[in-house]
Structure 1
Amino acid sequence: MIKSEGKMMNDKKQRHEDRSGKLQAKTGNIIFNTINYIVFISFTLLCMFPFYYIFINTISDNSLVRAGKINFLPKGIHLGNYIALFGINDLSTSFWVTLTRTIVATALMVFASGFVGYLVTKKKMWARRIWYRMLIISMYFNAGLIPWYLNMSMLGLTNRFAAYIIPAIVAPYNIILVKTYIESIPAELEESAKIDGAGYFVIFRKIIWPLSKPILATIAIFGAVGNWNSFTDSLILMQSNFSLYTLQHRLYIYLNSSSNLKALMQSGGVISQSMIDNQLNSKVISYTISMITAIPILLVYPFMQRYFEKGIMMGAVKG
C-alpha cells in the first residue's frame, strides 16, 4: 500500500515536471518566434522603404517633391508623371529598346544554356572536358574593359542592337547550373527514348526541356534582371547611336545632369531659372524612371519564385 502511494506520488511529480518543462519550452518558443518576427519584419520594411519613398514622390504634387516635403505619405496624388514620361520620345524609345533586349537576349540565353548544358553531360561529345573547362575558366578570367571594347569594335558591334544580344547568349554560370540539374534527371528516361530511335535533339526537346523548367526559369530570372538593369554596354558601345540607349542609360544621364546642376548651385555659380527648373524636373523624372525600371522585375518575380527556389537548389554547383 505504501509502495503504491509512493509510486502515485512519483507519477504525479513526474507529470508535473513534464508539464513545467513543456510550458517552459512553449514560452521559450513564443519568445524566440516573436523576436524573429520583429527582426525580419523590421528588415523587410527597411528594404521596402526606398521603393516606397521613390513611389510616393512620383505620384505626389511635383512642387512638394521639389521642396522635399514628401517623406512618408503622398500628397496631391496624380499619375501625370508616368503619363508624361512616355510622351518623351527618347524615354519611350529607351523603354522599348530595353524591353526588346531583355526578351530576345533572355530567350536566346535560356535556349543556349539549356542545350549546351545538356550537351556537356554527354560523354560522346567531342573534347567535352576541354570545352567545359574553357567555360569555367571564362568565369574567373577576362581581358578587361579596354580589350573588350576593342574586340566589340573589331567585330562591328558598336552602335548596333546586336551588341546587346550576341554577348549575352553564352552564360557560363547558367550553363553549369543547367548541367548539374540535368545530371539529376534519371538516365533511364533518356535510354528508353534512345531505344525508340530518338536523337539528341528530340530527347532534349521532348524530355530534358520539359523536365528542366525549374532551372530554366531560374536562369531566365538571372538573365532578365541582368539585361533589364544593364547600362554599361549602352554607355560604352552606343556613343553615336542615341536611339539605342537603354532605360538605365537614360536614368544615368538624368541623374548625372541633376548632380552637375546641383554642384553648380552649391558652388555659387551663375545659373538661370530655366537651369534650376531643369534640375528640379530631372529629379522628378529620375524618380519616375527608377520606378519604371524596378516595377517589371517586382511584378515578374512572384510568379517565378516557386521555380526559382526549386531550380536554384537542385541546380546548385556541387563540389
Structure 2
Amino acid sequence: MGFDQVADATRWRFGLFVTASVVTLIWVTMAVIESGEPWEAYQAELASSGLWPRSVNRGVLEVDVAMGSQHRTDRCRSCHLGMELEAEPGAQRQAPHTAHPGRLLTQHSPEQHGCAICHGGTAQALEPSVAHALVGTTQHDPMMQQPYVQASCIQCHLPGAVVGSERLARGARLYLTLGCGMCHSLKADGRGGWDYGPDLRRMGRHGDRYLRQSLLDPAANFAGTTMPSYQSSLGENPEILSDLLTYLHALTLPRLKDPGIDGLYARPCTTCHAGLGGAAVGTIRHQCVWINEEQEQLRCQSCHTGELPVEVSFAGFCPVVREHRGGCFACHTGYGG
C-alpha cells in the first residue's frame, strides 16, 4: 500500500477537527454549568437522564408554606425534582435525584408542604450548602437525615401517634424518666421545680454536636453548670442517646397544630370510671402512649380494690394521677398547669 500524502492529510485534519470539537463542547458545557445556578444544572441532568417524561427545565419552584401566623417560601423542589419519581427496581440514582423512601409523599405532598417542614434547613435558599444548613449558620441541619428527621413529626402529630415517630416517642419518655423536666420544665411558665434550667423550647435550634456535648459534658458549653453529666447512662448507648436528641431537636420546632388535651382528658379519670369496678370498663386501649405504658401504676384497682371513689370525694385528680400529669406536657403543648 503506497503512501497517499493528500488522503493522510485529510484524515489528520478531520481527526483534529473532531477532537477540537469534542474538547470545545466539553469546555462550553462546563462553563455553562459553572456560570449557571446549581438548580439549573440539576434540572438539566434529570432531563438528559430520560427519567422525567416531559421538559424538566421548570425554573425555580416555590411553595408558600403556612407556619402558624407566618409564611415561609420553600424552594427545595427546584433541585430535588427526582424525589417525586418512583424508584426503579435495582436502579441507583445519585443525589439530588434519589426517590423519596416509603410512601410519605402521598400524605405530605411537596407541592403543598414543601420539604423543609420535615427536613429542616434554609428553605428559601438555592445554594445547596446554604439550603442544607441550620438557618443563619453554616452547620448542617441534623433533621436532613435519619434519625433526627422524626423530630419534625411533633409539629403536627403527638409523639408515637403516627407510624415513623417511634424514636420521637421514646425520646419523650426518656425526657420524663431521666427527670429532665425537674429542671427544664415543659409547663406553661417554663419553671422547673428543682433547679431552674433554661426553657429548652425557647433556646433556638442547635447542631447535633452541641446538643450531644450538652448531655455528655455540660460544663463544656456552660461553665459552672449544676447539670450532671449523662455520660455513664447515655454515652455507651448511641441508640438511646439518639432517641433523646431527636426529642430535644423537636422541642424547638413550632407547633403547626396544637395537640392540646380536650375536655375529656383534662378531667379526672373518675368522671367516667367511678362506682363499683369503674363505670366504663372493657378492652378499649387508651390512645395515650404514656398512660398505656404506665397503666400498672395508674390503674385505680392498684389502690382501690372495691368501689372507686367519685371525683368530689377528693376534689379532683387522685394523688397518683396528679403526680403523673406532669408527663402530659412532654407531648401536649399549649396545656399549662
Higher relative helix content: 1
TM-score interval, normalised by the smaller of the two chains: under 0.3
Higher relative strand content: 2
TM-score under structure 2 length normalisation: 0.22
TM-score under structure 1 length normalisation: 0.23
Larger relative contact order (Cα-Cα within 8 Å, sequence gap ≥ 6): 1
